[in-house]
Structure 1
């Protein structure tokens, strides 16, 4: 009597040695290539030489972009090769004639891919650990958790891209189209939230930028490479990739069970997938075409965007049909009716969110419903290679007078929206002001709006709002002055080599108090002034109290920069009293001469950014006449004041170059009305 070992059938069917041997024999070289590419990590760590040792918390600071690139490309290639047999007619017939069920074939090929992905990753992790221990003077110092986190991250992302490619391959009948579709799907979140967001911003009055709380670059594994310098993957993001990997595995088994062998070499394997592919391809092209035409439109015309959508719709639908039918001969009697259906669906998706009747553009909350308000949007800082959002609460105000002022400005902007370039707010206008307002309502909801307006049209409302301390405290960042400050560096705006540092605790407290008082006491005219600041103060503080509970990071060298304006008379007097003012000053005897050149701006309706421009005066491409002077009185007057850059569509300016005795050059700018009598006398011929 023969005894049957339990599990023998299971092992033979799910782990058929012949199939596994054939897979590794034919495609094992991909795993070797992956290993060699990943080994660049320990190779770089072992051969990098530095004068100092850098303590790093993550291995992604060492060629992290390259390894992420490997994780989103090599596994895709592995899946294309391993499952090539379902895309080619001959191999499909051979493999599916074997005495194995499809779930057995799929399991063995998945396991082959997992081995070729995971083994190289963890060999690399082990070699990296060995290299870090073996080095006597390493360029990088890191702990075991950094190695572990690197291995887990690369493993999860690689498995996700592999299983995504497999799942897509079950619905696609051509390997090239399969690969393109994988990356198309990976880019869909970026295209939708990014490009569709541009559509909303262009056509929906008041739609704010960056309304979503996450960075767009992080929602696609492809674009994720660009954000590695400031946002390393965390457990939350990895959990999403892991969950989607499991979902792709389940879908692969379901699709494979229903897939016909004859679908090999066909563009789309399932009839139900064809309309999804057709609409997805068409809608993507529509968004991209509309965004492109909107960006190149003269005068920011909305008509160009609409034309772009129409052209994109036609091109997208024709392209999708050609791909599905694998020929450019796609004309038949049903083409136009089908195109009309897809076109109407696309038009509705684009139109409904921006239609006037949805009430978005005119929605200004009532005062009774508003709990608190914030101007300026989110505030972030750069910490440990990451952009961290500060806690919102400290930027909201519940002062009813301030809420009234914000609502009054908001209501007037809405009332005058037809004259505010409603169909595209990206055009630069003179006296331009960006208004971002966030309301927290008493019912727990949030309303956010953003507008670009000409401030002079709403001067009364702006003046009322900007005179509140709540506005000035947030706009000028006085919240940072309430933290502990380690030191303060003050640098002259005229020349960077004039600087003083304050480290005495008593002087720091006095400076902070005066600076905060000067900021909060600014008038509306002070805030609007285009006079260049006297100096800038770099205040080094500890931001930890301003971070949310999930983002408390130990980073003691954070800083904020504040302008010391000419109107801060009490602060300037304090600098003089403490013998700091003269150290920031430039003596008239240090300047050999001053050169003037006239710049005229006359472009009504098209604002130009005017600023102290070295190229304008040095290269003088227009051949304008220059005037030079060594008059000490004029040079002394120039050292006392200068204009900062701003947008304008008309005006007469003078670009000025100060030539120092030591060869240093300083560039500045004045308006025509700023000239003294002495300056006008020497510039009469310009």
Structure 2
């Protein structure tokens, strides 16, 4: 009996319940009002509430508020349960008990786990009872509720044990709370900072794709927060099964290390920022390194220059070193010769590491697969276009012909030659290679259009690339429920439901797209109208596009159907136009027409006012999306709304004579 008594001390458990039981009560009430109470309220409504198939993880049950309690309450439990470790008197008293340290530690861990599990289990029990007495299948299933239980139990245990682990490393409760979140975010943060760092040095490296595809896997907190009830439609749960199993194993590892640290922790470490003095250099270096990368990122994003990036490394690293030193020594008086020498050492180590990381990727930068290795290739204007197709589970329109693949490789090689990772060019390229061995290669570049004009033209005028740029080429008219044409600068729209008319329109539209030249694709003439498609009752899809007056077959078909004048902008739709001389000696960070036009307006440059119908007709032959030219034309449709306008531009040779004469 004596050994049993010593192995389990009820008084310690009772004391823990008295000290931190309020956290368990708040946890229960928070989850109860967000989940079971919300269920009772929606069941009592006469009109059903709109639900989704995410069940307890959806918007009906405010999953983002559930996550708030999940992130906060387990950490509070760890902080308050082990508060005695950070107060010298309390620490001495607790460790004066006739009980081994390991057993005392396990008693507190047992108390914390029980107090965290009870609120979750009670709410789960309420959900089970509700499902047994009424039909709740519109809101959740038993499987969905069981997964909710598993998720909250695992994540609560992980955050609690992570908090305990940090509590054994530090002697300050405030530092414990902050460092726990930093610890759980640290892998993802370092991953993001390193990815950005690589993207500024390595040609072709796509930080967007890397972070989007795997960022959440480096932090359980990022995994939870990235879902938030609003993730992609195919994602039904915030954390995948494999990830939950891994988080459980990580929590067990945290427990084992925490137990060892607790047993070997010095009682005198209470009140110190780090209880283990041997970790001081590691902590200082880590903070210095992270702040150096953050400083480099901040100044790079704001200035896009390597000199400012290096300055950011220096400023960020200096700030990080000073902050870490102040925290460890608990004083701001760290600006002396001793710390200057230490700062130099840490700064040199950080600089070497920052410089070495990109060198490890040199082969990545220069690699272009041989044509014989490539099965197919996809090229788009950025990663997000590719992501949209994959998220909507749409078949990727790859380039497969040998000639088109070779043109793509030629473009890729030229981009490697002339691209600069810090380029502020407006032209984006994203490559996806499917190789014969089944592997995939991703590259992304950003340059000015003119520097790769010929290589780009060779790719863009292929039929296969046009299927990428204009997904409607891969759409069958039989799949379309509704087709809507709407002018972009005037009210009204034309809706087509007749399958024969839809088929006829898509036939002439595809003819016009196949006939487009590179120049027409990049800078089409005239003001456009939009076309959108509804498939299976859904309007959200990538098949929308713009049609222009240069689409001859489409225009003729619209005229025959009798709605061309309403659906395409006519001269009589325009209230007046303003023509500006495109400034020759300009010092603008951007050259696209909207940016230049706004700068001219801000500088109060006087334009040529045009209101005569015959002159406006000539102005409608201008080009969209120009990044250079001689004249900019702004079309206004309502004198009461100066913000409602469209822009076209002219080169010197294409401009109407009355414009040239005015600006001579």
TM-score after normalising by structure 1:
0.82
Aligned length: 644
Shift of 1:357: 9.0
Q: Is 2:474 aligned against 1:494?
A: no
- 101-110 or 348-357, which deviates more: 348-357
Among candidates 12, 28, 31, match of residue 21 of structure 2: 28
Distance of 2:413 and 2:260 partners within structure 1? 54
Shift of 1:581: 3.2
Shift of 1:88: 1.8
Secondary structure of 2:391 counterpart:
strand
Shift of 1:576: 3.3
Q: Which residue of 2 aligns with 1:230?
A: 231
The answer (yes or no) to whether the contact 2:79–2:163 under 8 Å persists in 1 is yes
Aligned ranges 1:146-185 → 2 under 5 Å:
146-185=144-183
Q: Which residue of 1 aligns with 2:553?
A: 570
Distance of 2:597 and 2:365 partners within structure 1? 43
Q: Which residue of 2 aligns with 1:611?
A: 594
Distance of 1:208 and 1:381 partners within structure 2? 13
The answer (yes or no) to whether the contact 1:164–1:182 under 8 Å persists in 2 is yes
Distance of 2:650 and 2:405 partners within structure 1? 39
Distance of 2:368 and 2:588 partners within structure 1? 29
Aligned ranges 1:622-633 → 2 under 5 Å:
622-625=603-606, 631-633=612-614
- 280-289 or 528-537, which deviates more: 528-537
Q: Which residue of 2 aligns with 1:41?
A: 34
Shift of 1:281: 1.2
Q: Is 2:249 aligned against 1:243?
A: yes
Among candidates 634, 637, 656, match of residue 635 of structure 2: 656
Aligned ranges 1:449-468 → 2 under 5 Å:
449-468=443-462
Q: Is 2:662 aligned against 1:669?
A: no
Shift of 1:676: 4.1
Cα pair distance change 1:230/1:257, threshold 3 Å: same
Shift of 1:288: 1.0
Q: Is 2:433 aligned against 1:439?
A: yes
Q: Is 2:114 aligned against 1:118?
A: no
Q: Which residue of 1 aligns with 2:270?
A: 264
Q: Is 2:65 aligned against 1:66?
A: yes
Distance of 2:345 and 2:392 partners within structure 1? 44
The answer (yes or no) to whether the contact 2:526–2:621 under 8 Å persists in 1 is yes
User: What does the per-residue CA deviation read over 1:252-278, in whole Å, with 9 as the maximum and x for residues that have no partner?
Assistant: 223223323232222222244223222
Among candidates 288, 300, 314, match of residue 282 of structure 1: 288
Q: Which residue of 2 aligns with 1:550?
A: none
Q: Is 2:368 aligned against 1:364?
A: yes
Distance of 1:330 and 1:664 partners within structure 2? 58
Cα pair distance change 1:566/1:186, threshold 3 Å: farther
Shift of 1:20: 0.9
Distance of 1:578 and 1:516 partners within structure 2? 18
Distance of 2:309 and 2:167 partners within structure 1? 35
Shift of 1:400: 2.0
The answer (yes or no) to whether the contact 1:14–1:108 under 8 Å persists in 2 is no
Q: Is 2:391 aligned against 1:388?
A: yes
Aligned ranges 1:130-209 → 2 under 5 Å:
141-209=139-207
The answer (yes or no) to whether the contact 1:173–1:265 under 8 Å persists in 2 is yes
Distance of 2:47 and 2:617 partners within structure 1? 46
Shift of 1:317: 2.2
Cα pair distance change 1:527/1:685, threshold 3 Å: closer
The answer (yes or no) to whether the contact 1:289–1:312 under 8 Å persists in 2 is yes
Cα pair distance change 1:654/1:445, threshold 3 Å: same
Q: Is 2:348 aligned against 1:344?
A: yes
Secondary structure of 1:536 counterpart:
strand
The answer (yes or no) to whether the contact 2:573–2:637 under 8 Å persists in 1 is no
User: What does the per-residue CA deviation read over 1:364-394, in whole Å, with 9 as the maximum and x for residues that have no partner?
Assistant: 33334434332124755779xxx82647x83
Q: Which has the higher helix share?
A: 2
User: What does the per-residue CA deviation read over 1:308-358, in whole Å, with 9 as the maximum and x for residues that have no partner?
Assistant: 112222222232223223334557886556544433332232112323993
The answer (yes or no) to whether the contact 1:88–1:265 under 8 Å persists in 2 is yes
Distance of 1:423 and 1:611 partners within structure 2? 25
Residue ranges of structure 1 left out of the alignment (5+ in a row): 543-554
Secondary structure of 1:374 counterpart:
strand
Q: Which residue of 2 aligns with 1:412?
A: 414
TM-score after normalising by structure 2:
0.85
Cα pair distance change 1:605/1:596, threshold 3 Å: closer
User: What does the per-residue CA deviation read over 1:230-267, in whole Å, with 9 as the maximum and x for residues that have no partner?
Assistant: 25414233333333222222222232233232322222
Cα pair distance change 1:595/1:370, threshold 3 Å: closer
Q: Which residue of 2 aligns with 1:548?
A: none
Secondary structure of 1:361 counterpart:
helix
